[in-house]
Structure 1
Amino acid sequence: MPVSLRSPWTWLPPAVALALVAGILATGTNRALFLWLNRSGQGVGDLVWFHLTMLGDGAVALALVLPWIRRAPRLFWAALLAAVVAGLWTQVTKAFVDVPRPLSVLAGGAFHQAGPAYRRVSFPSGHAAAAFALAGIWAMGVRGRRLWRGLLLVLASLVGVSRIMVGVHWPLDVLWGMLGGWLGAWCGLALQARRHGPWQTAGAAGKLAGAVLMAVAASLVVSRHIGIPAVLPAQRLLAVACLAWGAWEMGCLSRAPPLRAPQVRWWPRRIGLVRLVQRAQRRRQDG
């Protein structure tokens, strides 16, 4: 299904993000908005924001794609393409724009900082890009289910805001990461729609992609790369769930009968050719 540019699910989220970016740049309120949000969200507690920010980790996002491999192969491939585009958006921007983190600009007591104490390459937020890439795949790639699509957008927004609440990103970082993730989702779905024929995962390419994501999910069982000890139990539980679910789905793929190309019936064409020859012979005899 091609992505419709007329659908509000396609253009409204990036339009809102661009409007907010323009407003913040025009008023110069990036720092003031960061301080207001950072202070306002502390009543929720660090544990909630830690778990939300965990969902935007790149490895966690890839592990969450694994259960789609059999039930939604079109979205599975679109999500992998989106990950490439969103990753390039984030890393290329970071390579050319080295914005200092809040901890390098503001005094330690001026805001609340929790988790890893990052100081450099703040722009943009990779967590926001990953969250909105996954949310965008479902928001633009699935028909109906407006409630679920809306809830996914809210969840992705909370993941982005969590980066402000733990004190490691400015609002502009989050908004630019959101745009990169949404662009990645749109590109993934658009590239998938341009390919003729169904995108299947039962072949060698699908099994290889599934094996890679299985390895990513398995690494999350032992990895501490997020740097927040409080989320390790949830990280491991999520990794084991994705690993088990993904293994089940890949097992079902292996047991499924191979896809066969549709057979073209040649005999109607042959009969038509025979009749055409017979008519030509009759004309010669009549002639």
Structure 2
Amino acid sequence: MPASLRSPWAWFPPAVALALVAAILATGSNRPLFLWLNHRGHALGDLAWFHLTMLGDGAMALALVLPCIRRAPRQFWAALLAGVVAGLWTQATKEFVDVPRPLSVLAPWDFHLAGPAYKRVSFPSGHAAAAFALAGIWIMGAEGRRWWKGLLFALASLVGLSRIMLGVHWPLDVLWGMLGGWLGAWSGLALQARWRWQTAGRGGLLAGAVLMAVTASLLVSRHIGIPAVLPAQRVVAAVCLAWGAWEIGCLGRLIFAREAPYAAQAPPSRATMAWWVARLVRRAQRWRNDG
């Protein structure tokens, strides 16, 4: 089950996000806060923000889930379910709320733009949703020390901030994406706990094959739109692909070993079936003669 509602990890992050959303709306500080953060993000350098934003890409998030298919089946299925919920949260909002990007509202010299020159459908941030969904799965669904969970939360927060630092999202976009990601993580863990899906079966192998295809596409894809991250994107994809293939291979051997005893009891071939039919006929004739 996901973390208890009494656990701070279950309610504190979304509560903080909602409080910040309310404060920004009440004070009308979305644009001033964006400019303040965007101007102060240069100290870390664009390259660092580029690589942080890469981790929030949906395909990259799925690639990072792939190696968990055998060792952490609970988190594996929960992450896939969380991706569906967070994706619906993001796309449904974008469908009904078309907020212009900073590039459509501000002059280019008023802020720092280092990402792709997007102009529409800013609200919410899909990268923030993906990052917080993935972090939430491990924070709420895995045993671990507080410092480790805090580190994951800080990393997801930096991924969300990278969207502001690169000049492609407003603070409200990131906070609403964070809410969707956390809701997705909680929902994914709750649904997996209810259904108790395992990866040691055909469904798990099928899901693994789909993620293998998504991961392999990252070896050649340029959809992130940031040439500077292509080397890191390909390295991460290659590692996840090789690791995932190994885990799926081990999983396949485990499934085969489990089903081998039942295979020995499987229906015989046609020739063997004919032998059994002939034997039954002879036995019936014997019983009739005895009678």
1:166 counterpart residue number: 166
CA distance in 2, matches of 1:2, 1:131: 18
CA distance in 2, matches of 1:18, 1:42: 28
Deviations 1:106-148 (A, max 9, x none): 0010000012100000000000000000000011101232221
1:19 counterpart residue number: 19
| Superposition map of 1:75-94 within 5 A | 75-94=75-94
1:204 counterpart residue number: 202
Deviations 1:74-97 (A, max 9, x none): 110000000000000000000000
CA distance in 1, matches of 2:90, 2:253: 39
2:222 counterpart residue number: 224
Deviations 1:6-65 (A, max 9, x none): 100110110110111011011100000000000011111100000000000000000000
1:41 counterpart residue number: 41
2:270 counterpart residue number: none
Deviations 1:208-263 (A, max 9, x none): 00000000000000000001000000000000000000001001101113279xxx
Shift of 1:202: 1.4
| Superposition map of 1:48-127 within 5 A | 48-127=48-127
- Is the contact made by 1:113 and 1:167 (CA closer than 8 Å) also made in structure 2? yes
Indicate the SS of the match to 2:74. Answer: helix
Aligned residue identity for 1:67: P
TM-score, length of structure 2 as denominator length? 0.87
- Is the contact made by 2:131 and 2:181 (CA closer than 8 Å) also made in structure 1? yes
CA distance in 1, matches of 2:46, 2:124: 22
Shift of 1:3: 3.4
- Is the contact made by 1:64 and 1:242 (CA closer than 8 Å) also made in structure 2? yes
TM-score, length of structure 1 as denominator length? 0.88
Shift of 1:194: 1.5
CA distance in 2, matches of 1:75, 1:53: 23
Aligned residue identity for 2:228: A
- C-alpha RMSD over aligned residues: 1.1
After TM superposition, where is structure 1 displaced by more than 6 Å over at least 4 residues in a row? none
- Is the contact made by 1:83 and 1:130 (CA closer than 8 Å) also made in structure 2? yes
CA distance in 2, matches of 1:126, 1:162: 12
Indicate the SS of the match to 2:47. Answer: helix
Unaligned stretches of 5+ in structure 2? 261-291
1:138 counterpart residue number: 138
- Is the contact made by 1:3 and 1:190 (CA closer than 8 Å) also made in structure 2? no
CA distance in 2, matches of 1:24, 1:259: 58
- Is the contact made by 1:125 and 1:169 (CA closer than 8 Å) also made in structure 2? yes
1:276 counterpart residue number: none
Count of residue pairs brought into register by the alignment: 258
2:147 counterpart residue number: 147
1:275 counterpart residue number: none
Indicate the SS of the match to 1:34. Answer: helix
Indicate the SS of the match to 1:71. Answer: coil
CA distance in 2, matches of 1:201, 1:259: 15
Shift of 1:199: 2.7
1:213 counterpart residue number: 211
Unaligned stretches of 5+ in structure 1? 261-287
2:273 counterpart residue number: none
